[in-house]
Amino acid sequence: MIPAPSAFAQPVGEIGAAKGNEAVVEKLRKMTPEEIANLDAFLAQALTLYYDRKFALALPIFKELADKVETMDIMFWLGTSAAQAGETHLAIEKFQKMLAINPRLHRVRLELAAAFFKLGRDAAARKELQFVLDANPPAAVRSNIDKIMAAIDERTRTVSSNFRLSTGYMWDNNITSGPDPGVYNLPGGSSFCPAPTSAKLSDQASVTSFAGNLLYDLGERQGLMWNTTASAYLKFYKNYSEFDYMALDVNTGPWWTTQQGIFKFPLGYTHTEYGSDRLSYILHIDPSYEYFFNSTVSLRGSYTYKNERFYQKLRADNFDNTGHIVELAPTIYLGNRRHIISASLGYDYHDAENDIFSYSAPIAGISYFTWFPTRTELYLSYQWTRRDYDDPQLFPYAGLKREDIRHLFTGVLSQRIYKYLNLSYAFTYTDNDSNLALNDWRKTTHTVSLGCQF
C-alpha cells in the first residue's frame, strides 16, 4: 500500500529509504484521501501480480503508478518487473536512477549487475559486482557474486570449446526408404515388381556421432567471434552393409553478436560414403541471423547454399546438384527458457544434373523443447514438405511428373546421468505420400544411445 504522507518515509527493507522520496511526500500532501485510496488499491493489484511472479502483467501498472508517485519502492518494483518481462533497458534505467539517489543500495546494484549480464555487458556487470564486494557483504551474498563472476569469466574466455560423443543402436523398418514389396500396376495396364534391395527392408544398425566446437572471441562479447565445428555421423547395418552411411563435416566462419542479435556466416565441407564406396562431397555456406525482440521472442532467418558432387561418374551424371534453402523461424522462450517453441517456414530448391531429380519444395514445421528438474529433456518436432519434381519420370512411370508430400515426426527423450553422461531415446516416423505408387513409403526408427559431453 502507498502510506499516508506522515508514514511515507518509513523504510521497507533497504529500498524504501527516506532518501529520494521527499518530492513524492510533497505530492501526496496535495492529494485528497480519495486519490490516495485509489493509489493504494492500484498498488495492491500490482503487488499481487508481482508476488505471483506475473511480472508482464504487473509492469504496466507500476509504470502508471510511477507517472503519478515514483517512490523508491515503486522504482524498484518497476525495475525488477521490467527485467523479468524482457524490458532490460528500462530496468537498467530505473536501477541507475535509484543508485544516483543513494549509491549504497547494494541490492539494487546487484539487480543492475544481473541486467547488464543479461545483455552481455560483462564489463559493466563486473564493475557493479565488485562495488558490492568492496563493501564486505554477508557470506551468502558474496557466494552469489562469486558464482556470477565465474559465469562472466566463463563467457568472456578468449577460447571456449565443447565436445559431444554418442553411440547407440537403431531399429529401422525401412532402410531403403522403399515401397512395400509386391507387384504394382502401371499406367497402360502393365505391372512392375521392385527389386528386393529397392523395396522395403528392415534391419538394425549401430549409430555413432560426435561433434567438436571451438569458439574464438576476438574482443568484447558483443562483437566479432570465430567459430569452427567438426562433426561425424556413422551408421553400420547388421545385415545389409551395402546401406551403411558415413558423413564427415567441418565448417568455420565468423559470428557477429550485438545486444539483440547474432549473425553467423559458416563455410563448410562435407564428405559422405555409402556402403563401401565414397559417395560425394559437398561445399556449403550457411549464413543466418537471429534477432531477439526481448527475452521471450526471437526471429531467425537463414539461407543455405550447397554444391554436391558425386565421385562415381554414373552418379555424377544424374545426381550432381546445387541446392538453395531459405527459412524463417520465429521462436518463443517461456519459463526462463524451460519451454522453447519454434516454428519454421521455408523453401528448398534442389537443382540436379538430371532434371528428373530436381525439385522445388515449400517447408513448414514446428518444434517444442522442455527440460525438467530431474535433468530430463524432451524434444518434439513435426515437418511438412511438398516436393514438386521438374521433369517427367523415366521407366516405369515414363511421361508422368512426380509429386511427393512428406510428413516427418521426431521425438527425443534424454536423461542426464552424473555430470557428463546422458542416456537418450529417439523416435522418427516418415510418411512419404507420392502420386506415383512406387515412391510411396513409410519409415520408422527407434534409437537408444549413450552419450557424453565436455
**Which residue's C-alpha cell is 571451438?**
214
CB 394 within 8 Å of CB 378: no
Torsion of CA 11, 12, 14, 15, to 10 degrees: -100
Confidence class for position 20, pLDDT limits 50, 70, 90:
low
Query: Of 155, 170, 196, which closes a domain?
Result: 155
pLDDT of 27 reads 61
74 pLDDT above the threshold of 60: yes
Domain membership of residue 124 as a residue range? 5-155
d(CA 354, CA 356): 6
205 phi/psi in degrees, rounded to 5: -145, 150
**Same domain (yes/no): 198, 287:** yes
pLDDT score of 148 more than 80: yes
Q: Cβ(329)–Cβ(362) under 8 Å?
A: no
Distance CA 133, CA 222 (A): 26
Residues 168 and 146 both lie in one domain: no
Taking 50 as the threshold, does the pLDDT of residue 326 lie above it? yes
Same domain, 301 and 166: yes
- Comparing 272-276, 292-296, 388-392, 404-408, the range with the smallest average pLDDT is 292-296
- What pLDDT does residue 17 have? 47
Which pLDDT band holds residue 394 (cuts at 50, 70, 90)? Answer: confident
| Whole-number pLDDT of residue 380 | 98
Quick one: 145 and 183 in the same domain? no
The pLDDT tens digits for 116-136 are: 888 878 888 888 888 888 888
For residue 405, what is the DSSP state?
A: E
Q: Residue 7: pLDDT band by 50, 70, 90 thresholds?
A: very low
Q: Are residues 245 and 148 part of one domain?
A: no
User: What global pTM score does this model have?
Assistant: 0.69
- Mean pLDDT across the stretch 65-94? 87
Let me know whether 169 and 25 are in one domain.
no
Residues 280 and 140 in one domain: no
- Which class for 177: exposed (0-12), middle (13-18), buried (19 or more C-beta within 10 A)? middle
Same domain (yes/no): 224, 296:
yes
Q: 298 or 48, which is more confident?
A: 298
Calpha distance 392→401 (Å, rounded): 4
Task: Return the residue matching grid coordinates 551424371.
Answer: 317
What is the band of 12 on the pLDDT scale with cuts at 50, 70, 90?
very low
Q: Please give the torsion angle defined by the CA atoms of residues 23, 29, 35 and 40, in that order, rounded to the nearest 10 degrees.
A: 70
Taking alpha carbons only, the member of 443, 429, 435 closest to residue 178 is 443
Mean pLDDT of 48-56: 88
Q: What does the alpha-carbon distance between residue 179 and residue 432 come to, in Å, rounded to a whole number?
A: 10
Average pLDDT over residues 417-431: 94
- Reported confidence tier of residue 13, pLDDT bands at 50, 70, 90: very low
Give the chain's largest Cα–Cα span: 99
pLDDT at 393 over 90: no
Residues 403-420: tens digit of each pLDDT: 999 999 999 999 999 888
The upper half-sphere exposure of residue 272, i.e. CA atoms within 13 Å in the direction of its Cβ, equals 14
Q: Is the pLDDT of residue 219 over 50?
A: yes
Tell me what pLDDT residue 408 has: 98
- What is the rounded distance in angstroms from the CA atom of residue 257 to the CA atom of residue 261? 6
CA distances from 342 to 84, 297, 361, 376, 420 (A): 21, 10, 20, 20, 27
CA distances from 297 to 15, 261, 391, 394 (A): 31, 12, 42, 48
CATH code assigned at 203: 2.40.160.40
Q: What is the tally of structural domains in the chain?
A: 2
Q: Are 139 and 196 contained in the same domain? A: no
89 lies in the same domain as 232: no
Mean pLDDT score across all residues of the chain: 88
Range 244-263 average pLDDT: 93
Please indicate, yes or no, whether residues 316 and 375 belong to a single structural domain of this protein.
yes
Which residue has cell 534477432?
291
Amino acid identity at 79:
G
Q: What percent of the chain has pLDDT over 90?
A: 55
Last residue of a domain, one of 155, 189, 204: 155
Task: Work out the pLDDT band at 3, boundaries 50, 70, 90.
Answer: very low
121 SS3 class: coil
Q: Domain containing 101 — which CATH number?
A: 1.25.40.10
Torsion angle, alpha carbons of 66, 11, 1, 132, to 10: 60
- Asked which of 88, 121, 155 is the last residue of a domain, the reply is 155
Nearest to 126 by CA among 143, 91, 150, 107: 150
Same domain? 240 vs 351: yes
Which position has the grid cell 558474496?
Answer: 142
